[in-house]
Amino acid sequence: MTFYDYKQKWDWDKMTLFIENATAADVERVLAKGVNITPEDFAVLVSPAAAPYLEQMARMSAEATRRRFGRTMQIYTPLYISNYCTNHCVYCGFNCKNKIGRVTLTQEQIEKEAQAIQSGGHPFKHILLVTGESPKHAGVDYMAESIDTVSKYFEQTSIEVQPLDTADYAKLMEHGLHTVCVYQETYNEKRYPLYHPAGRKRDYRYRLETPDRMGEVGIYKVGVGNLIGLENWRTDAFFTALHIHYIQNKYWRTKCSISFPRLRPFVGEGFQPNYPTSERDLLQLITAYRLLSEDLEISLSTRERPHFRDNVIELGVTTMSAGSKTAPGGYSDDDVNKELEQFSVNDDRSVDEIVKAIKAHDFEVVWKDWDLSLNYNTFRAAERKAL
Amino acid sequence: MDTLNIGGRVMRSRLFVGTGKFASNAVMSKAIEATGSSLVTVALKRVSLEDKEDDMLRSLKLPGVELLPNTSGVRNAEEALFAARLAREALGTNLLKLEIHPDQRYLMPDPVETLKACEQLVKEGFIVMPYIHADPVLCKRLEDAGAACVMPLGAPIGSNKGLATLEFLRIIIEQSNVPVVVDAGIGTPSQAAAAMELGADAVLVNTAIAVAGDPVAMGHAFKLAVEAGREAFLAKTAPVNDKASATSPLTAFLND
């Protein structure tokens, strides 16, 4: 059984109604339980009825996060290595129909980017490699090679690329892969095809079962999430929580993390969110996820503005990106064409400024929480014997 | 003299401390000094072993404080062996806190892998201090395998729930031929004192100090509590009675 089968017990429309109909009494009953609640209880906390309880949720979330993670914030930075894409995602800047410059970085260029990221005394040790979906330009062999390259500089490598097969994940783990992020975009199976009309990404089930394939080979950490604003964000949050709960219980050696890619309305042409969310809504999500699971890693990217990011440092978040450039080549070359970017960041402060903001909360910035030597698989037989 | 000896080392203090979750390395240093601890555990994954300038390692260079590398992050015996050898080489110490907790949620130690790794590490000359569940039989097995001490948990790591495993700790302490260090779960100085009164040889505390409002003051409070608990244990605590005992009501007739 995979998550696709598991999830059949819950119907999208019924859950939507359940969430809409939750009452204040339901919310109080759930909050009385504290942390580590069920996905159904989580659904109550993302309901409109829970909105007036946000202050209490924030307090509970902050307390649980301090206990589990202490006064620390992990930081990482994304490295876009290819923006070729064969998909037609209607909301994405990398959509294959968009006439933008396409690049796949060479290993030399990746190395230059890695050096640029660590320049200025920034001891980044966690890196996220990002590609569009184009096996021809950025296939599994290219990813393996790229992981080898960045492993000279970083201790923990994550990827955010297309869903892969089990054997591919196993292979990449041998090269030192630690974490894989695959966001479902929406768990609404009926409407998923509207947003993904063509390309390999049209296959809802293959994407949904990706964490199962990762769990099978023991990926260290799985990053999940949904594109907030595409569909009813409350219902999507419930299914994301259900997915987390499923992964945690079935693949208990694998950590889980949640991210919040959020669509915002904007002036001009382009995809507008069907279900706009406010920062208040986002904080409700963050704190509800913390109450779902005390040990869930909660990541907040530079998509959110500084005012919001700085103020949620203590409220549940455990991981932040800093100094992000979302165009391939953007770190080593300031003049890289802006149109290569996947999305524009709302927190474009320098790494130093973000570090300062974190420290202002009396938090330690954790650059390194993994050692490549722990990726036992990365060590070839000869090296193993040597020790 | 009341001294604690683990693997041939005399420990100045019966309070061991961890280094995670502190608001800064500077606060960590000061808090450790306040605890008076002579044994401080550090996760291999958090430090750059090859980097002489590593901020955390530098902050732990304190007089009279010995580093106890731990294998947090490994998921099986094989990985633990690998990490242990790296730590010995880089830090020049045979001491090792063996932690194998593949469970990512409650960080529960894997008893099978821990025993397997302990057997091999002892053969390789390590002074093995294994983190385990409060399982009396496992403690005996580890003792047989040559562990320098056993480190059963009071409650899940970081939970601050105190001595949730009290009844089993009692059995472990009663039976053990190696020092018993209560590790994980201790949330307050009074709980640390309770563990010491019970007869634990030492306790290991991290979250309760690191996350306290004032970690330095809390570190000192734990120092006092551990000392008080130990003295109370040595002084042999008075028995607990449910009610005042009447003077020999049943046997008074014998005096007639």
- Catalytic residue chosen out of the listed positions B21, B97, B223, B243: B97
Round to whole Å and give the CA distance between A355 and A44.
35
Mean pLDDT of chain B, nearest integer: 91
Rounded mean pLDDT of A176-182?
Answer: 95
Please give the pLDDT value at position A278. Answer: 94
Q: Which of B73, B79, B82 sits opposite A370 (nearest CB)?
A: B73
Is the per-residue pLDDT at B253 higher than 80?
no
Q: Report the residue of B50, B58, B78, B105 to disrupt the A interface, i.e. the one with the largest count of A CBs within 10 Å.
A: B105
State yes or no: pLDDT of B254 exceeds 80. no
Of B87, B83, B75, give the one whose Cα is nearest residue B112.
Answer: B75
Neighboring chain B residues of A254 at a CB cutoff of 8 Å = 104
Partner B contacted by A197 (CB < 8 A): no
- Percent of chain B residues past pLDDT 70, beyond the cut: 97
Give strand ranges (E) for chain A. 72-82, 126-131, 156-160, 177-181, 221-224, 255-258, 297-300, 319-321, 364-366
Q: Which residue of B has its CA nearest to A370?
A: B45
Q: Is the pLDDT of residue A153 over 50?
A: yes
CA A253 to chain centre: 19
Given an 8 Å threshold on Cβ–Cβ distance, is B160 in contact with A374?
A: no
CB–CB contact B24 A359 (8 Å): yes
A residues 203-222 closer than 8 Å to B (CB): 218
Q: Give pTM, 2 decimals.
A: 0.86
Task: Give the mean model confidence (pLDDT) for residues B133-152.
Answer: 96
**Bridge partners (DSSP) listed for residue A343:** none
Which residue out of B21, B22, B78, B161 would a mutagenesis test of the A interface target, given it has the greatest number of A Cβ atoms within 10 Å? B21
What proportion of chain A, given as a percentage, has pLDDT over 90?
79
The SS3 call for residue A100 is: coil
Choose between A329 and A386: higher pLDDT: A329
Given an 8 Å threshold on Cβ–Cβ distance, is A70 in contact with B79? no
- Residues B67-92 have a mean pLDDT of 90
B contacts of A369 (beta carbons < 8 Å): 45-46
Per-residue pLDDT at A382: 42
User: Would residue B97 show up in a list of annotated catalytic residues for this protein?
Assistant: yes
- CB pair distance less than 8 Å for A371 and B25: no
Mean pLDDT of A217-223: 94
Nearest CB among B46, B102, B104 relative to A368 is that of B46
Residues contacting A117, CB < 8 A, separation 6+: A77, A79, A124, A127, A153, A323, A331
Contact list in A for residue B82 (CB cut-off 8 A) is 373, 376, 379, 384, 387
d(CA A300, CA A302): 7
More confident residue, B158 or A331: A331
Backbone angles phi, psi at A264, to 5 degrees: -125, 140
- SS3 state at A119: helix
Average pLDDT in the B39-64 region? 85
Of A367-371, B202-206, B217-221, the poorest mean pLDDT is in A367-371
Half-sphere exposure of A320 (CA within 13 A, CB side): 31
**pLDDT on residue B145:** 96
Residue A6 has pLDDT above 70, yes or no: yes
